[in-house]
Amino acid sequence: MVALVWVCAGVGLPSAHAQAPKKVSPQLWRAVQQAPRDVLVTAQGYPDLSRAVHLPDKPARTRFVVETLMRHAEQSQAALRAALRARGLQFEVLWVSNQLLVRRATLADVQWLAQRADVARLDLDVPVKGVLATPRAMARPSVTNTPTWGVQRVRAPEVWALGYRGQGIVIANLDTGVYWAHTWLKPNYRGWNGTTAVHDYHWFDAAPEAGQLPADEPTDLTGHGTHTVGTSNGVGGIGVAPEAKWIACRNMAGAAGVGSVARYTACFQFALAPTDRNGNNPNPDLAADITSNSWACDPGYGEEGCDVPTALVTPTQALRAAGIMVIAAAGNSGGQGCGSVNLAPATLDQAFSIGATTSADTIASFSSRGPSTLTGRIKPDVVAPGVGVLSAWHTGESAQMSLSGTSMATPHVAGVAALVWSAAPWLRGNVEGTEQLLRATARPLTTTVQTCGGVPGTQVPNNTFGYGLVDALMAVSYTRALRSEAPSLAPAGAPITYTVVLTNVAPFTRAGALVTATLPTGAMLLASDPPAAQVGQLAVWSLGALAPNAVITLSYAVQTMQSGWVSNAPLWVQFADLPAPVPGRSAHTFLEARRFWLPLVYAQIP
């Protein structure tokens, strides 16, 4: 099996000095008294990103989030940046989390920073020496153009037959880097046009080797990142979405694969707004759609800052608001039993967490079990093939390796998400809806052996398999289950009529359906056919059983005085025999403010 990326090192010996100031983490306080250290400085405040969900598409959401975050960071950090420059300190801006990474700060620098009103917290950020545990099978002969067992098990080839292979979707591989010239990877690298390569905006090195400049082109010293990107969207039968593009950011350095909070955050930031190779000129229009994360932020192995369980909540929430899906390995600590999903980002609600299964659809012994130790909620979300997975390797253009781990399961799901968004572009950027779709359409898997978090393993979902084995064909099929139409343009104050069409795409009768549509803010429900119940801002229809291919049409009219974009989003159908709701295609209308033309009256004075 393959562990995520395990790192280990010691921290400084306990200090005899005074207790750490309130804003300074104990680890930083001990370490900085021995030598200058890299310090992660969190500035005060964070902007409200909630407006993003109301924007009509993923590009608009991403631009709004990036512009809002950068503007806030510039304003809240302006005086701090100037003071750091005047003090002669080097720093990097992590606007995605309103932080600064200050290089080689002394004890005096830390004391000075702790006294500033515009600083909220100071943490140690140490790229420590570590070990990548890689139990691996021997490489096998190539199965070029024959889908691997994992690709077949998630039913990707059946989606390819429908014409959807990940076209138009970009997956960001945030890992140990990528050997980009590999035969199975090069065709889908976004920086390759078939003749030449341009690495700006497609590659960023947030974890350069000690004493070296960042790599100018995608590179991988461990093979881990090369392997995972091959599974998500490599060609030659190894990738789930073989026409999706990939970009990459190295967040773990060296043959050991060494990460840090700042490195992980920097790569999330690059996925949100790719930059040139020097980290300048961010462009949200080139943002990724999906991030594949086969790693864990582990304080037990010396990754400072990861002792704060919520350390990565801020950047992952920013990506979610921007319409970028964060897919993360659940972990390889299954031997510890229940509650072994205990490291970020897998523990976070903002990440879609993935467990690993064998070719017999049993849980891999190493696959971490839930619930999340942070939230207490069901984890993993779903499972995917993670044992004996064949993919590309970093030692040559045709090199391959068979590996095991939740690291290998995670890119299967990244590829499935790409297939779904390729088949249903209207769902692209709707992270919550996509997660619910993948949960609802997963093949349920249960166990009589284990009960975790008070949830029996015989129940769906459970803390061993989550909602089950991800199913690309079922997910793509259900993107056609529920859709809505409405005028694209209307004057504010005029009634808007929405037409909702529900289809049972399953080849068997579905139990009673419950359809919900969200009314625009402040809207009044004027009429509906058949009659709908209004529950707050929801219009709700309770329907009977649906036979195969049955179609039901619903309509309702609303009136709102607001101008701008309005929609009946989110739109959902909940079938009684599915464990999660299925998102529908919502309708968006732009309401123009009314223009009142007053007649001009001329009075002629005699």
- At 525, which helix (H) or strand (E)? strand 524-529
Asked if residue 547 lies in contact with residue 506, where contact means CB atoms within 8 angstroms, the answer is: no
Parallel, antiparallel, or unpaired for β 119-124 and 37-43? antiparallel
Instruction: Give yes or no: 381 in active site.
Output: no
Which one of 182, 224, 227, 588 is the catalytic residue?
Answer: 224
In what helix (H) or strand (E) does residue 38 lie, and over which residues does it extend?
Answer: strand 37-43
In terms of Cα–Cα distance, which of 420, 409, 419, 402 is closest to 380? 409
Residues sharing a CB contact under 8 Å with residue 527, sequence separation 6 or more, in sequence order: 556, 557
Structure tokens at 52: 């993003």
Distance, CA of 514 to CA of 509 (rounded, Å): 15
Catalytic entry in 407, 528, 567, 586: 407
Q: Are residues 33 and 436 in contact, defined by beta-carbon separation less than 8 angstroms?
A: no
Catalytic residue among 38, 109, 123, 175: 175
Whether the CB-CB separation of 79 and 54 falls below 8 Å is answered with no
* Whether 407 is catalytic: yes
Nearest CA among 289, 220, 281, 222 for reference residue 249 = 220
- Could you list the beta-strand ranges (E) of 232-351: 245-250, 290-293, 325-329
- Name the E strands within 226-332: 245-250, 290-293, 325-329
| Count of other CB atoms within 10 angstroms of residue 203 | 28
Q: Does 175 participate in catalysis according to the annotation?
A: yes
**Contacts of residue 168, Cβ cutoff 8 Å, sequence gap at least 6:** 421, 422, 425
What is the Cα–Cα distance from 186 to 559, expressed in whole angstroms?
Answer: 52
Positions marked catalytic: 175, 224, 407
